[in-house]
Structure 1
Amino acid sequence: MITGELKNKVDKVWETFWTGGITNPLTVIEQFTYLLYIKGLDDNEKKKEMDAELLGIEHEGIFPQDKPQLRWSIFSNMGPDEMFNVVSQEVFPFIKGLGGKGSVYSKFMKDAIFVIPTPSLLARVVAGINGLMQASNTDGKKDTLGDLYEYLLSKLSTAGTNGQFRTPRHIIDMIVKLMKPTPEDIIVDPAAGSAGFLVSAGEYLKENHSDMFLVQSLKEHFNQKMFHGFEMDGTMLRIGAMNMMLHGVDNPNIAYRDSLSEQNKDTEQYTLVLANPPFKGSLDYESVSDDLLKITKTKKTELLFLALFIRMLKKGGRAAVIVPDGVLFGNSNAHKSIRKEIVDNHKLEAIISMPSGVFKPYAGVSTAIMIFTKTGAGGTENVWFYDMKSDGFSLDDKRKPIDENDIPDILSRFNNLFNEVGRKRTEQSFFVPVNEVRTNGYDLSINKYKEIEYTEIKYEDPKVIIEKIRNLEEGIMKGLEEMEMLIK
């Protein structure tokens, strides 16, 4: 999330677009993102050049040596007219073809259009972005593009026709830390959006498994085969692809695909699913893959995505996904069948209940994180429940930082589940045996199992209370009489 000075500078750049004649919010977001991407390419290149110089090795850069004007640091210092010509005629064609004709970037950037109409507007926006990045305290590890995009999305009146909205970065990071991706994992997000989960997984691996980049096979796996994301929105695909490249992934497998349809044939291909699929909307049975309907016959996307995750995972593969609370306690046959499938045929490990304000200002829906492993042979023994009450931000539309934050406690307890045995149902986290879950119709809502301690409050005897009220009334009447005497 962005706040304070950085937020104000974003607002000023946004206002610059509007006063310059670009008033469609989605167009503003897309043009804004292109320019952030172009600046990010130059910033990343500078870091690589410095590293190569420090190590005394050759560096083959992405920018042609005979065209220094393609770099942000060069053209941003030009006059408005020259800058406009360079960006529109040279820089934009360059980023659209980056990586070669067969790259994921050229595939989705081919439809990108530069629509900033005048040199003066471009110059003002470029200056605004320079000021914006100076106000940012990022160190190259944080999802700056995603955080800025999250704030820009908040300016839209709706989250999207299919219920899509960006998952807050701190929630994504928490989920990734819970799952601890390994250098051998094959990671997928079938509703990738701006690729926040994939970016966070990549950053986790860089921080915790940096030695993997010394092994050629693991380095190639990271850049070519590890990350997979599917999305139906062309704008989001471009943003996701740019986000991945800015975070050092050479060729992520990001594709235009309706994950729930027959065109998605992926079966037992991935070892880790990280996702926050769309909650809203229903689909026609005809458009949904038949094998998903065999698991749960429904039109509800949130249930179909759970069936999809099971199908896509290899045996032993893990999933950490966000679901609306209704998935946990819904009484329809479809709701019960998908919960029964996960509990009885696989290994359900945890349900982390999140407060309803986590996704504000986009939505106020209550959600939970479901963590399970695909086994095909059961394995659920005890389900760990955690009642998250705060995520470090206020739960209103403003989402201001606060001191209360359960995320460190969640990470600590999940990493030491053996210490959770014996905790009472009145505490914030506890285990529930699988037989109790079955007895309760596979209800997975925490309120079904949580116990609340009621403290008995002792009140005074009614006669004493009445006497106190009478004394108060007498005092009031006496005061009124004295006031009457004063005004006579």
Structure 2
Amino acid sequence: MKDRTSTLRAETRDSVNKVWALCNALKDDGVTFHQYLVELSYLLFLKLAAELKVEHKLPQGCRWTALTECPENILLERYGGLLRSLATSDSEVVSRIFSQSRTSIKKAKTLRVLVQSIDRFAWYEISREGLGDLYEGLLEKNANEKRSGAGQYFTPRLLIDSIVRVMKPSLGDVIQDPAAGTAGFLVSAGNYIRANSDTWSDVAEKELSAIFHGVEHVDDTYSLALMNLFLHGLVNDDAVGLVYGDTLSSAGKDLPPATLILSNPPFGTKRGGGLPDRDDLPFPTSNKQLCFVQHIISALAPGGRAAIVVPDNVLYEETVGLNVRRYMMDSCDLHTMLRLPPGLFYAASVKTHVLFITKNDGDSFQGTKELWLYDLRGKGHGRSKSESLTEETLRAFEHAYGHDPNVGREARRTRRESLSDSYQVFSRAEIRERGDNLALSIEVEPTAESQEDPEEALLLLEKSLERSMSALRELSDMVRRGPA
């Protein structure tokens, strides 16, 4: 079946820019970029609910016409009351979306301009699927405009869709994102299932909460994620699989076992340097990405699969990092790593990989035997340029990955028959000889240029500094825990 992702992006790109241009009206009212996205989301949600024929799920008097037909002199008061009423809606998903809602607009004229501009927009030119995609496009636009705050760890749509295509979600999966953000992974998985399933239309709304699960701990972002799921038809009224909370607390521990986890966990250390509020992680640490990796391993059902975006220091950090890597390779088949170009997240200095794992099931999968590295950071892919992450390069990775999301025996045989300069396989014995350090790279013939490459020297220095910082963090953790 034809993949529709690229078509939807092309269809809505111009619309995203037009809607984003409304930002000027809000900037004149003293509203920040992040406040703008949240404010615009409330209004767009009401309008798109009408266009998508789902506004019957909203209370009477809290629908789009309540704003379009309201006189300007009472518009701000009507809008504020509408938000408060939605926060107490009988629909669980609607009440959660608007539970923290508030308006930053101070002038009735500004609100009138926004409502009229949105109402006059040529919505009929966009398909039903494109309307949901428009909203997600605005989320990505916000992330690109502001590489901090909500956009700090926004995962590029190209990468999300590529990961989803190789992981092949299905209606039989229980899908989880423990760091959901604005629900990009969950929405992409839902789009993939809808496009590749003949029985999607038979899925009862109540079943959606059994398929899609996640956690988000930032209140505004949680609301954006719920809106995103709602507008894509991936959440029902009475049971919401996406919860507000911290995965590194009981909220994560209470999630049901997943057959598929897709996630880009937050980077850095837990606020205040504290340890996670969970007693089921084998190696407690203030390092959030290492805690999330442990959560994902424990949250997978036997035979379940996961794709995890991690910063490079997860691959070589000592002490707890080493223990977590060994735990992962013993508990799961870490069969593939995708080495990404730098600069995709927040800053050019942040370098990342995607780890693809399948949890042991006592039968077909019994730990890591070999690891395949696919390199999108090497010389052949325009190293140090995030622009090298293109549809073409990711499609080449997908072709090399193969059709089996778990990369079983037959898939590995196929990989060996089509090895390229971008792929290299490492046995578990070779990794063990390296001290279970996963900072691997594909060996190429040295050239005069590569021998004098200052960037390679900088990378080595970064790794040395990361190891030193890791040792300091672990020492800090031990001091904080006190004597055993």
TM-score by length of 2: 0.76
Matches within 5 A, 1:33-432: 33-45=41-53, 61-62=56-57, 70-72=62-64, 75-76=67-68, 80-81=72-73, 84=76, 86-90=78-82, 92-93=83-84, 95-98=86-89, 100=90, 103-130=92-119, 140-141=129-130, 143-156=133-146, 158-159=148-149, 164-214=152-202, 216=204, 220-221=206-207, 223-248=208-233, 249-250=235-236, 251-262=239-250, 264-266=252-254, 269-282=257-270, 284-292=273-281, 294=282, 296-330=283-317, 332-359=318-345, 364-375=349-360, 378-389=366-377, 405-416=392-403, 417=411, 418-422=413-417, 427-432=421-426
- For residue 289 of structure 1, report the CA deviation from its aligned partner: 1.6
Going from structure 1 to structure 2, the CA distance change for 1:116 and 1:215 (only over 3 Å counts) comes to closer
Higher relative contact order (CA 8 A, sep 6+): 2
Tell me, yes or no, if the aligned pair for 1:275 and 1:322 is still in contact at 8 Å.
Answer: yes
- Structure 2 Cα separation of the partners of residues 436 and 451 of structure 1: 14
Going from structure 1 to structure 2, the CA distance change for 1:268 and 1:316 (only over 3 Å counts) comes to farther
Q: What SS does structure 2 have at the residue aligned with 1:311?
A: helix
Tell me, yes or no, if the aligned pair for 2:16 and 2:134 is still in contact at 8 Å.
Answer: no
Q: What SS does structure 2 have at the residue aligned with 1:357?
A: coil
Provide the residue aligned with 2:436 in structure 1: 442
Tell me, yes or no, if the aligned pair for 2:100 and 2:220 is still in contact at 8 Å.
Answer: no
Going from structure 1 to structure 2, the CA distance change for 1:385 and 1:403 (only over 3 Å counts) comes to closer
Which deviations, in whole Å up to 9, do the C-alpha atoms of 1:29-70 show, x marking residues without a partner?
21111112112211111xx7xxxxxxxxxxx94357xx5x75
Which deviations, in whole Å up to 9, do the C-alpha atoms of 1:1-43 show, x marking residues without a partner?
8998556535532221121x23333322211111121122111
Going from structure 1 to structure 2, the CA distance change for 1:168 and 1:133 (only over 3 Å counts) comes to farther
Going from structure 1 to structure 2, the CA distance change for 1:137 and 1:104 (only over 3 Å counts) comes to closer
Going from structure 1 to structure 2, the CA distance change for 1:395 and 1:405 (only over 3 Å counts) comes to farther
Matches within 5 A, 1:464-479: none
Report whether the alignment pairs 1:26 with 2:17.
no
- Structure 2 Cα separation of the partners of residues 208 and 407 of structure 1: 20
What is the one-letter code of the residue matched to 1:347? Answer: D
Tell me, yes or no, if the aligned pair for 2:342 and 2:377 is still in contact at 8 Å.
Answer: no
- Structure 1 Cα separation of the partners of residues 13 and 292 of structure 2: 37
What is the one-letter code of the residue matched to 1:291? Answer: D
TM-score by length of 1: 0.76
Q: What SS does structure 1 have at the residue aligned with 2:155?
A: coil
**Stretches of structure 1 lacking an aligned partner (at least 5 in a row):** 49-59, 458-488
Going from structure 1 to structure 2, the CA distance change for 1:150 and 1:87 (only over 3 Å counts) comes to same
Tell me, yes or no, if the aligned pair for 1:380 and 1:434 is still in contact at 8 Å.
Answer: yes
What is the one-letter code of the residue matched to 1:344? Answer: D
Tell me, yes or no, if the aligned pair for 2:175 and 2:212 is still in contact at 8 Å.
Answer: yes
- Structure 2 Cα separation of the partners of residues 368 and 131 of structure 1: 44
Larger Rg: 1
- For residue 135 of structure 1, report the CA deviation from its aligned partner: 11
How high is the sequence identity, in percent, across the aligned residues?
A: 27
- For residue 242 of structure 1, report the CA deviation from its aligned partner: 1.0
Going from structure 1 to structure 2, the CA distance change for 1:400 and 1:373 (only over 3 Å counts) comes to closer
Tell me, yes or no, if the aligned pair for 1:230 and 1:255 is still in contact at 8 Å.
Answer: yes
Which deviations, in whole Å up to 9, do the C-alpha atoms of 1:74-105 show, x marking residues without a partner?
84476644755654444x3454344x25x133
What is the one-letter code of the residue matched to 2:227? Answer: M
- For residue 443 of structure 1, report the CA deviation from its aligned partner: 2.3
Tell me, yes or no, if the aligned pair for 2:341 and 2:389 is still in contact at 8 Å.
Answer: no
Provide the residue aligned with 1:464 in structure 2: none
What is the one-letter code of the residue matched to 1:438? Answer: R
Q: What SS does structure 2 have at the residue aligned with 1:319?
A: strand
Tell me, yes or no, if the aligned pair for 1:108 and 1:234 is still in contact at 8 Å.
Answer: no
What is the one-letter code of the residue matched to 2:95? Answer: S
Task: Say how many residue pairs are matched.
Answer: 422
Report whether the alignment pairs 1:12 with 2:21.
yes
Cα RMSD (Å): 3.5
- For residue 335 of structure 1, report the CA deviation from its aligned partner: 1.4
Going from structure 1 to structure 2, the CA distance change for 1:404 and 1:259 (only over 3 Å counts) comes to closer
**Stretches of structure 2 lacking an aligned partner (at least 5 in a row):** 1-8, 404-410, 450-484
- For residue 230 of structure 1, report the CA deviation from its aligned partner: 0.8
Q: What SS does structure 1 have at the residue aligned with 2:343?
A: helix
Tell me, yes or no, if the aligned pair for 2:209 and 2:241 is still in contact at 8 Å.
Answer: yes
Tell me, yes or no, if the aligned pair for 1:6 and 1:135 is still in contact at 8 Å.
Answer: no
Provide the residue aligned with 2:454 in structure 1: none
- For residue 153 of structure 1, report the CA deviation from its aligned partner: 3.4
What is the one-letter code of the residue matched to 2:87? Answer: K
Tell me, yes or no, if the aligned pair for 2:183 and 2:228 is still in contact at 8 Å.
Answer: yes
- Structure 2 Cα separation of the partners of residues 396 and 31 of structure 1: 36
- Structure 1 Cα separation of the partners of residues 299 and 391 of structure 2: 37
- Structure 1 Cα separation of the partners of residues 213 and 278 of structure 2: 20
Going from structure 1 to structure 2, the CA distance change for 1:436 and 1:394 (only over 3 Å counts) comes to closer
Tell me, yes or no, if the aligned pair for 2:169 and 2:193 is still in contact at 8 Å.
Answer: yes
- For residue 282 of structure 1, report the CA deviation from its aligned partner: 3.4
Q: What SS does structure 1 have at the residue aligned with 2:373?
A: strand
Tell me, yes or no, if the aligned pair for 1:270 and 1:317 is still in contact at 8 Å.
Answer: yes
